[in-house]
Structure 1
Amino acid sequence: MKYTVLLVLFFLQFTGYSQSLDENSSSEKANDKLLLTIFLKHDQTMNLNEIEEIRTQQGFYENLPPEGVAVVNWFVVMGLGQVVILELPASKLSAVNLAIERTAWKAFTTEIFPTYNLYPIIEHKLKNKSKVELNEKLSTKKANDKLLVTVFLKHNQTMTLNEIETIRTNQGFYENLPPEEVSVVNWFVVMGLGQMVVLELPASKLPAVNLAIEKTAWKAFTTEIYPTYNLYPIIEHKLKNKSKVNY
């Protein structure tokens, strides 16, 4: 009887330990995703119809994103091209690269950067914490009331990150960007490039955004600003893999 009780206790302890390991593994698995930012840059020796014909023939929409990979954003950044942010397990990295090389090349020139979500790290510093998830089901009137801009805050590698942080803190960066009535859509670090911020705003707030950048981001960063629109709702029906996640 004594040995039976000990055996039961050992079994329960072992089961609990195994369950703990499973939970840790599940937690690690949930975190085992990376983000990639892909620039699909337009070749202006071709018009849009010619580009579309090439990527359709090459099976672009059937192969990007591959299975097991989800779209975070798919924007047209006007004057630059398309910017696609994907979420994927590390094991799918080669599949994404092959899909781009096989189906996007010739239609676009491409650049790929590892990326991470900066917003949760800096949210507590921001005076205006307003953040939105783009909702494709908004009424046409409401959707037309807002525009998107993509702001690139490019790192100046003559300074360390601490020096950059000191400058933008002293200049009131976090208190002024985004201005009131302007919301963050995404705020990512695109590694090797800098920070990429997508903002949603009424057109009347465009001067306020520009002034906030000029007054508080310059000197810490070199900046580029592009008008942007959400391409995903327009092309979703073409994609074989429609998986999408929000950040």
Structure 2
Amino acid sequence: MKKILYLFLIVFSISLFSENLFYENQEKEREETLNRHGILVTILLKHDQRKTLDEINLELKQSGFWVKFPGEGMKIESWYVAMGLGHIITVRILPEQVRELNRIIERTAWKSFRTEFFLSYDFKEVSTENRKREQDDEKQKEKKFEMKEYFR
């Protein structure tokens, strides 16, 4: 009887481990797909300044905003609050999820916020490369100027 129990525990443990491994791999694949094929959408949630913060928070809780947003398979890339403006949220989604994201916002945030959506892209790497190129060009100009001064 003990051998059967031990055997059962071993088989059960292995099945749990393999199931966890399966879900981890599935999650990694979903993340890779999102990073490779995803688009960035920036959402601007403007505060309704006629309402107090407590009223807005109550409406968000009642609508299920904190549970439903951003949605299954969507990833929040950044979330800032700009004073006097509202929430600026950048979400990475697959193109086929645009409608779903819009509906989540319509159903959960419209009563509390005025909303705007913007298709976005990451410009940080481009700006870094531009800055480096310009700095290198400036250094080359300085060297040429120094050479001219030297030969005068």
* Aligned position for 2:97: 92
User: How far is 1:121 from its partner?
Assistant: 1.7
Give the CA RMSD over aligned residues.
2.2
- Which digits, 9 at most, give the CA deviation of each residue in 1:39-79, with x for residues without a partner? 00001100100000001100001111000000001111111
Are residue 43 (structure 1) and residue 55 (structure 2) matched? no
Structure showing the higher strand proportion among its residues: 1
Q: Establish whether residue 119 from structure 1 lines up as the match of residue 98 from structure 2.
A: no
Give identity over the alignment, percent: 37
Distance in 2 (CA, whole Å) between partners of 1:54 and 1:29 is 31
Letter in 1 for 2:83: M
Using a 3 Å threshold, how does the CA distance of structure 1 residues 41 and 28 change in structure 2: closer, same or farther? closer
Q: Secondary structure at the match of 2:121?
A: strand
Residue of structure 2 aligned with 1:82, choices 82, 87, 101: 87
Q: 2:34 and 2:61 mapped to 1: Cα distance? A: 34
Superposed CA offset, 1:67-93 (max 9, x none): 000000111111100101000111111
Alpha-carbon contact 2:70-2:101 (below 8 Å) kept: yes
CA offsets per residue over residues 103-150 of structure 1, 9 Å max, x none?
0001000000000011112211225xxxxxxxxxxxxxxxxxxxxxxx
Quote the Cα distance in structure 2 between the aligned partners of 1:46 and 1:28.
Answer: 40
| Paired residue secondary structure (1:65) | coil
Residue in 2 aligned with 1:58? 63
Instruction: Extract unaligned runs of 5+ from structure 1.
Output: 1-26, 128-168, 176-247
TM-score if structure 2 supplies the norm length? 0.63
C-alpha distance in 1 between matches for 2:63 and 2:34: 33
For residues 30 and 56 of structure 1, what CA distance do their matches in structure 2 show? 30
Structure with the bigger RCO (C-alpha within 8 Å, sep 6+) is 2
Q: Per the alignment, do residues 58 and 119 of structure 1 end up closer, same or farther by CA in structure 2, a change over 3 Å counting?
A: same
> For the residues of structure 1 that align with 2:89 and 2:99, how far apart are their CA atoms?
17
Amino acid across the alignment from 2:106: E
The superposition leaves residues 186-231 of structure 1 with CA deviations (integer Å, 9 ceiling, x where unpaired) of xxxxxxxxxxxxxxxxxxxxxxxxxxxxxxxxxxxxxxxxxxxxxx
- Report what 2:37 is aligned to: 32
| TM-fit CA distance, 1:29 | 7.0
* Partner-residue secondary structure (3-state), 1:125: helix
TM-score, normalised to structure 1, is 0.40
Distance 1:50 1:122 in 2: 41
Change (3 A) 1:55 1:29: closer
Q: 1:104 to 1:93 in 2, by over 3 A?
A: same
More helix per residue: 2
- Alpha-carbon contact 2:74-2:92 (below 8 Å) kept: yes
Consecutive unaligned residues in structure 2, runs of 5 or more: 1-31, 139-152
